[in-house]
Amino acid sequence: MRSVVGVVFLLAGGLLLLFPQYEKRAYHEEQEELITAFEQLGEWETAALADGDLEQNQQAEYVVAKDARGMLSIPAIDLEMLFFDGVSVDALNKGAGIIEPEKKMGVQNVSIAGHRGATYGKQFNRLNELKVQDELHVKMDQEDYTFIVDKVFVVDQKQVDVLSDKESPYLTLVTCTPIGEENPTDRLIVQGKLVNKEEV
């Protein structure tokens, strides 16, 4: 009997070790599919107008990608994710969210919030690894924006002045910290200054 219990515990332990890797891979695959869908929106809309239909496996991705405002890419931490208007549970489960959707990218200080996620590489999990001079890329409204990180710091959740406009266009990334703490009261902030803007 003890050997059976031992085997069960061994298998359960193995599954617990493998689950985060499975979850991470599934998350990355889902994000890649959504990013592809976002990039193919124009083609899909044309196909939908011409044929009146999309393949079934494209429909769900199309619906999500169509709602996306843009794509955030951070090469230093190998992150690509879509972002949406607002910071609702739905928006943050699909990607990241623009805290004040009425602000203009490349003109004001636009803030994007995302979950920290306990799984390595998921959502804003590795945001703390960013350093001054790292690049942040945003694709939005037929424009590519490049920001250079000039500040990485932690503030209390009530310190909302980090969202205020500055003299130059900025991108501010916001996530909870530390990882794993229930109802954390601090926020990790990464701010980058606009250095380039190009039409796609």
Query: Which sequence spans correspond to the domains of the chain?
Result: 1-67, 69-200
For the chain, 200 residues long, the average pLDDT of each consecutive 10-residue run is 51 51 57 48 38 46 68 94 88 87 95 82 88 97 96 91 94 90 87 95
Query: For residue 38, what pLDDT is reported?
Result: 42
Respond yes or no: is residue 67 known to be catalytic.
no
In the set 140, 176, 188, 189, the catalytic residue is 176
> pTM value?
0.72
Separation of alpha carbons 110 and 191, rounded Å: 10
Residue 86, number of CB atoms within 10 A of its CB: 14
- Write down the pLDDT at residue 20: 55
Catalytic residue selected from 24, 103, 115, 197: 115
Is 28 labeled as catalytic in the residue annotation? no
pLDDT value of position 40: 41
Give whole-number Cα distances, 122 to 22, 23, 26, 158, in Å: 12, 9, 10, 25
pLDDT value of position 37: 44
- The answer to whether the CB of 151 falls within 8 A of the CB of 132 is yes
Write down the CATH superfamily of domain 69-200. Sortase (2.40.260.10)
